[in-house]
Structure formats: C-alpha cells, structure tokens
Amino acid sequence: MSTLAVTKKDFKGVRRAKTLWMVTGLLAVLAGLLAWVAGDPGRMDSEAAVARDLFNAIAVLLSFLLPIVVLVACYLAIAGERESGGIKFLLSLPNSRRDVFVGKFLSRTLVVTSSVLVMFLVVIVLSLVRVGTVPGVMLGIVALVALYGTVFVSIAVSLSAFVKTRSRAIGSAVGAYFGLVIINLGIPVISVKSIVSYAHHDILGMARNPDLYNFVWYLSPFVAFQKAKNLVMPLEMRSTMFQDSVRNEAEIESAAMNGREIAPELPVYLTDEFSLVIFAFWLVVPLAIGYWRFQRADLD
C-alpha cells in the first residue's frame, strides 16, 4: 500500500461512521433552516443583498460549528488505530509511518470538504428557491470555509498523533475547541486579550500594547477566519476589528467623541491579508510537529 491506498481505505472507513454523518446532517439542517429564515423574500433589500447576507450568516455559523464536525471526524484518526491495534496492521504492510500520517490527513480532509460541499449545496438550493439567486461571493465563501476546515483537520490529526487512547483523544479535541474557539469569542475575563493584557500590564508592569494583545488574539484560526472573510465580502459587509490599534488611538478617540467609527490603519500583522499567513501556519506547523511525534512514538 501507499499514501493513496491508505487514504482510500481510511476514507471508506470514515464515511461509514454514523456519528460523523449525524453531526454533519444536523449542521446541514441548521444551515438549511437559517437559509430559509434569512432568505425571506419579503425583505425590502435587493435579491443580491439578501443572498449575500444569507451566505455571510452561514459562514458565521460554520465558524463556530465546523470545528466540531472536524474534531469529531479526526480525533481518532491515529489514536483510534493505536488503541485498537490497527496501526500495527497498517504498518505491517509496505507502508511507512509517513504514508499512514499523510494518508490520514488527506482522507479526513476529503471527508470534511465533502461535508462542507453538502452543507453549501443545501444552502444554494434554498437560496435559489427563496431568493432566486446566489451571490457572487458564494465561491469565495465556500473556498474559505473549506480552507478553514482543512486547518482544523491539520490540528486534529496532529493532536491524534500525540495520544494513544480514546479518552485522551477526546480530551485533546475538547481542549483544542476551547483554546482555539471558545476563549477567542471575546468573553470578558476568559478572553485571550484579557489574559494577555493582565499578564503583560498587571503582572509584568509594562505599558499597555493593544497591538500585541490583538496579534495574540489574531493567532487563533477562528479569529483569522473572521478577518479572512473581508477578502471575499463586499466593502459594505466587511467587519472592522482591532479598532484599538495604537497607531490610531488619537484618531479613534476623536471619532468616538463625535459619534463616528473609523477603520484604523493597521500594522501589517493585523491586516486582512495576514489571515492567510496564519492559516498557512496552522496548516503546516501542526502537521510537522504531529508527524515528528508520530515518527518517534512507541506503538507497542
């Protein structure tokens, strides 16, 4: 067998998993309901505007829920084989550990991408039925969501390579969702920005640096996804983040006093385009670390 053979074998096994397709089906139903409600033809907006709002709402929904689908699909990718002893069978054939690791990543990426396409197929059909059109940003959003899902596949498969039991795999998946999504929602006290600000300013006694706090927050693929959407959405629908950039404190304060909101001139590491660099980091680095760990793991 080779990497391709491992990919095919694993893909066939995963697609039979009832839990995965139950979660995917539930997500498709939620997306469909949102499409039906958000695509209300009675709105006064143009059909194109309604369709854009619909796909933007779906992207926001998937930013929270797609990581759950990915983690369910991938948390046992390697850990499950190790616990069941199947990893010895895979490696007893003419497969290297690289073949197994890369094959698992490719098969799980195919599964997640298929799930994303099924979800969007439902949304596209309902958009045509309810609104009569699909927006021009549709392809960009689908591609961005698929990339977002692939990023979490990289993280989940790599975490699975670090553990050898189901319980530890579940724990790592829950921890990854909490650390990469939940604490990046901006909830007071437990938000990344609050934690970094407290450590930097209150504990170390250094001057406040909003750009530093924003950058650490931006390192989450969840936050990077919110910024990456600006690359495909029209200008009037782009989200404004990092308003507290230190480069524009005076301008922002003046605008706030006059009841206006301005988009700050951000340093390069806080721009929309930098989100692609962050995605590349989460695609490459976890895979490299996970592969390194799997190569050295004692599989007995």
| pLDDT for residue 102 | 93
Query: Would you say 216 and 232 are in contact if contact means Cβ atoms under 8 Å apart?
Result: no
Rounded to whole angstroms, the Cα distance separating 229 from 295 reads: 36
Average pLDDT value for residue range 106-132: 87
Find the mean pLDDT for residues 157-180: 92
CA distance 22 to 4: 27
pLDDT at site 263: 54
Predicted confidence (pLDDT) at residue 2 exceeds the cutoff of 70: yes
Nearest CA to 160 among 28, 290, 17? 290
Is the per-residue pLDDT at 284 higher than 90? yes
Fill in the amino acid letter for 183.
I
Q: How far apart are CA 297 and CA 101, in angstroms?
A: 12
Length of the chain: 300
pLDDT at 258: 60
Q: Which residue has the higher pLDDT, 300 or 210?
A: 210
Confidence of residue 254 (pLDDT cuts 50, 70, 90): low
Q: Which pLDDT score, from 0 to 100, does residue 243 have?
A: 73
Give the CA distances from residue 101 to residues 85, 110, 281, in Å, rounded to whole numbers and listed in that order.
16, 14, 18
Report pTM.
0.88
Can you give the pLDDT at residue 101?
93
Report the chain's mean pLDDT, rounded to a whole number: 84
pLDDT digits (tens, 9 = 90+) for 14-60: 767 776 777 777 777 887 787 777 666 555 567 778 888 888 888 98
pLDDT score, position 234: 84
Determine phi and psi for 208, rounding to 5 degrees: -60, 140
Domain boundary assignment for the chain: 3-181+276-296, 192-272
